[in-house]
Amino acid sequence: SIYKISSLSQGGRVVAQSLGGVLVNHGSDNLQHNVLLNVVEEMAIASGTPVPPVYLLKNEDGINAFAAGFTTNDAVIGITQGALDYFSRDELQGVVAHEFSHIINGDMRINMRLTGILYGITLLGLIGYFIMRGSSVGKRSKKGNQAALLGLGLIVIGYGGTFFGNLIKASVSRKREYLADASAVQFTRNNHGIANALKKIGGYKFGSKLETSEAQSFSHAFFSNAISTKFSSLFSTHPPLSERIKALDPQWTGRYHNTDTTNP
């Protein structure tokens, strides 16, 4: 855990790069990139924080975004290509404002530490698995039996800890998402931008899912669920889309946008 947290100590750019993010620079001829940078600058002013570097997950069709880092000085904003392709400017603004809430409220710092702790606990279980596997090869002996018991104990501790750790991660994250949604409305003075962004995710064939294997480690840092889980209601790091939308738009009829035909 200490090793993992230390490896993340360089800030959000480490997370963005591990997810396949590419830094978006000023002076680009790409209209999408320029709009994104302008929106990030606007929301930095609205939230009273420094303008963070912006990373684009170019190979991700899912609609999602994230903030990562320990402080406002090493924070980054990340967004998927799917979000740039399908969000209007108001929707993009609402999502970026949501991520700025995570920056100023310290949520991303909690997320980074949770990532490190869960990494260490999971590693215990993996060590136990390989000890048991090694002890089962060859002739059985007293030492082999002891090693098997040690491996079993580490598996119980590791995977048991991971189970409860993921429950805690999900519970903490779900509560902070409502606050970030409310803060996005405060920063933008517009509840429809972020509400419509959520409606587009609900009506999109790829949803908010990411392809990168690193999405599991940082699932609690994203704007919407980045992974599929077997026990979605138990381990989901985000409240259901319908509940988030209802909180933002009480008049919502329950119909999602047909996103695949509404590319702006």
CB 238 within 8 A of CB 221: no
Tokens of 129: 């698995």
Asked about 214 being catalytic, the answer comes back as no
Q: CA nearest 200: which of 219, 224, 174? A: 224
Residue carrying structure tokens 């609609």: 63
Euclidean distance between CA atoms 55 and 77, whole angstroms: 6
User: What values do phi and psi take at 21, rounded to 5?
Assistant: -75, 145
Of 99, 177, 214, 243, which is the active-site residue? 99
In Å, the largest CA–CA distance within the chain is: 71
Tokens of 124: 């215990």
CB 87 within 8 A of CB 63: yes
Euclidean distance between CA atoms 23 and 51, whole angstroms: 14
Provide the pLDDT for residue 213.
82
Name residue 65's beta-bridge partners. Answer: 79
Provide the pLDDT for residue 40.
97
pLDDT tens profile 24-41? 998 888 999 999 999 999
Chain centre to alpha carbon of residue 100? 14
Whole-prediction pTM value? 0.80
Strands (E), the chain: 22-23, 54-57, 65-68, 76-80
Contacts 24+ apart (CB under 8 A), 239-248: 239/174, 239/177, 239/178, 241/198, 241/201, 241/202, 242/202, 244/177, 244/178, 244/181, 244/198, 245/195, 245/198, 245/199, 245/202, 247/178, 247/181, 247/182, 248/181, 248/185, 248/191, 248/194, 248/195, 248/198
All residues at 6 or more sequence positions from 251 whose CB lies less than 8 Å from its CB, including other chains = none
Q: Low-confidence residues of the chain, pLDDT below 50?
A: 138-139
CA torsion angle 253 254 259 261 (round to 10): -60
Euclidean distance between CA atoms 7 and 124, whole angstroms: 18
Provide the pLDDT for residue 176.
85
Chain centre to alpha carbon of residue 30? 26
Provide the pLDDT for residue 263.
58
